[in-house]
Amino acid sequence: MVDPRLAPTPPMGFNTWNRFGIEIDERLMTETIAAICEEGLRDLGYIYVNLDDGWMAPERDALGRLVPDPQRFPHGIGPLADAAHKAGLKLGIYSDCGHRTCKGLPASYGHEREDAQAFAAWGVDFLKYDWCHVPFEDFPGRTHAEVAQILYGRIEAAVAAAGRPMLLSMCNWGDGEPWRWGRGLAHMWRTTDDIVDAYRRETSGWSGDLSTIFRLNAVLDEFAGPGGWNDPDMLEIGNGGMTTTEYQTQFSLWCLMAAPLLIGTDLRAMSEDTRRILTNRELIAIDQDPLGRQAVLADDRDGICLLTKPLAGGDVAVGLFNERDAAAAYAIDWRRIAPTAAREVLARDLWTGEQRRVRGREDCPVLPHETRVWRLSAALD
Ligand code: GAL
Residues 152/169, Cβ–Cβ less than 8 Å = no
For the segment(s) 296-378, the CATH number from 3.40.5.90, 1.10.10.10, 2.60.40.1180, 3.40.50.150 is: 2.60.40.1180
Contact 223/232 with Cβ under 8 angstroms? no
The residue ranges of every structural domain in the chain are 4-287, 296-378
CA of 54 to the centre of ligand 1 (A): 10
pLDDT value, residue 379: 86
CA of 98 to the centre of ligand 1 (A): 13
Residues contacting residue 234 through CB under 8 Å, at least 6 positions apart: 15, 17, 18, 195, 260, 262, 263, 264
134 vs 299: CA distance, rounded Å: 39
3-state class percentages of the chain: helix first, strand second, coil last, to nearest 5: 30, 25, 45
Tell me how long the chain is: 381
Mutate to test the pocket of ligand 1, among 52, 133, 195 (most ligand atoms within 8 A of CB): 52
Helices H / strands E in the chain, number of each:
11, 16
Q: Cβ < 6 Å from ligand 1: which residues?
A: 17, 52-53, 101-103, 130, 132, 171, 173, 194
The DSSP element (H or E) to which 332 belongs, if any, is strand 328-333
CA of 53 to the centre of ligand 1 (A): 7
The pLDDT tens digits of the residues spanning 88-122 come to: 999 999 999 999 999 999 999 999 999 999 999 99
* Ligand 1 atom closest to the CA of 128, numbered from 1: 10
* Dist CA 121 CA 108 (whole Å): 16
Q: Which tens digits make up the pLDDT trace of 316-375?
A: 999 999 999 999 999 999 988 988 777 789 999 999 999 999 988 999 999 999 999 999
% of the chain with per-residue pLDDT over 90: 94
Q: What is the pLDDT of residue 204?
A: 64
Q: What is the pLDDT of residues 139-198, one digit of tens each?
A: 999 999 999 999 999 999 999 999 999 999 999 999 999 999 999 999 999 999 999 999
> Is the distance from CB of 249 to CB of 210 less than 8 angstroms?
yes
Q: Which pLDDT does position 359 carry in this prediction?
A: 86
Query: 318 CA to middle of ligand 1, Å?
Result: 32
Question: What mean pLDDT, rounded, does the chain reach?
Answer: 97
CA of 351 to the centre of ligand 1 (A): 31
- The residue contributing the CA closest to ligand 1 atom 12 is 102
To test the pocket of ligand 1, the residue of 18, 22, 50, 53 to mutate (highest count of ligand atoms within 8 Å of its CB) is 53
Which residues are known to be catalytic?
130, 194
Long-range contacts for 335-340 (Cβ within 8 Å, ≥24 apart)? 335/359, 335/360, 337/298, 337/308, 337/376, 338/376, 338/378, 339/314, 339/315, 339/376, 339/377, 339/378, 340/314
What Å distances lie between residue 215 and 73, 220, 221, 308, 310, CA to CA? Answer: 39, 9, 11, 15, 20
Amino acid in position 194: D
**Atom nearest to 102 CA in ligand 1:** 12
Q: Closest residue (by CA) to atom 3 of ligand 1?
A: 194
DSSP state of 352: T
Digit-coded pLDDT (tens) for 195-234: 999 999 876 666 799 999 999 999 999 999 999 999 999 9
DSSP state of 293: P
pLDDT over threshold 90, residue 304: yes
Q: Which of 103, 194, 233 to mutate to test the pocket of ligand 1 (most atoms within 8 A of CB)?
A: 194
Supply the pLDDT for residue 343: 76
State yes or no: pLDDT of 286 exceeds 70.
yes
How many angstroms is it from 224 CA to the middle of ligand 1? 22
Give the ligand 1 atom nearest the CA of 130: 7
Determine the CATH number of domain 4-287. Answer: 3.20.20.70
Widest CA span in the chain: 73
Q: Distance of CA 152 to CAs 68, 119, 350, Å?
A: 23, 16, 38
